[in-house]
Structure 1
């Protein structure tokens, strides 16, 4: 019942817009801070997470530590670009209400990666709020560019479908 209200109610779309804007600002600030500093390097964070794999109750699970050690750390240069720009673009998508579900899904993916790496900070809060936005579906982007993009794509798809439809011949 609550999910249906989130997905369909007009009042919910206004509340979701406020939540979406809040998340967007958080993501864009995090990304821009890294981009504008000009020297973001995730390798120190990754090495710190790898160190948290040991002990009786490790903060970082061994499977995630293996991923960081074997894949992420050797490719830190790629992650040094993906992380700041990913954060910035997630924030931009949420602020504009454009590709909202994709933006919040990618934001959640990053939040979980940070949580898997043993950090908390604002990540649990952003996961909780992000899940609400994701569960609300298209209603989260109703007050935003999603409405216009969806309308444009539907019209374009209908035109393409109409032009591809076979002509019927009567015998």
Structure 2
């Protein structure tokens, strides 16, 4: 019942638009700061691995193993993914374009930061993003999704119909 309320109510869509723009602005400014500031993730990644020791480590061993074996060797790629991922998620959320995908990518980055021992605003952003994900299409109702998603759906349906016609002809 609550999920249906989140997914269908137009007042909720308005509140979600405000949340979406707020989150988008947070991502956009964080990404832009990294893009223009010469961001290098390697120091952050090494710091996260260092926090995986002691009686109550901030970083779990399994995540530190991932960071050591995948992220640190690929720090150049991860740097690009983080700064441009943050920036593009921000733009998409502000515009309400592919909102659910942008929210999913944002919450994935937030969890990666939390797993790496950074609390900051990530918990708040995870909670707010969860509302967007639960709301589905309604989160982008007052955004470009309102126009783009029906168009994509129509194009997909036309393609399927054409393929079915061709299959029946053979």
Q: TM-score, normalised by structure 1?
A: 0.94
Q: Structure 1 CA distance, aligned partners of 2:78 and 2:59? A: 19
**1:22 equivalent in structure 2:** 22
Deviation at 1:113, TM superposition (A): 0.4
Deviation at 1:117, TM superposition (A): 0.5
**2:41 equivalent in structure 1:** 42
1:90 to 2:89 alignment? yes
Which runs of no fewer than 5 residues in structure 2 stay unpaired? none
Number of residue pairs matched by the alignment: 168
7-16 vs 148-157, which moves further: 148-157
Deviation at 1:4, TM superposition (A): 1.1
**1:115 equivalent in structure 2:** 114
Which contiguous aligned blocks of 4+ residues in structure 1 show a shift greater than 4 angstroms?
Answer: none
1:113 aligned counterpart, secondary structure: helix
Q: Structure 2 CA distance, aligned partners of 1:22 and 1:3? A: 22
Which runs of no fewer than 5 residues in structure 1 stay unpaired? none
Larger radius of gyration: 1
**1:13 equivalent in structure 2:** 13
Deviation at 1:141, TM superposition (A): 0.5
Compute the RMSD of aligned alpha carbons.
1.4
Q: Structure 2 CA distance, aligned partners of 1:118 and 1:165? A: 51
**2:50 equivalent in structure 1:** 51
1:72 to 2:78 alignment? no
Q: Structure 2 CA distance, aligned partners of 1:162 and 1:66? A: 48
Per-residue CA shift, 1:48-89, capped at 9, x if unaligned? Answer: 110111111111000000011111001101011110000001
Q: Structure 2 CA distance, aligned partners of 1:144 and 1:130? A: 16
**2:104 equivalent in structure 1:** 105
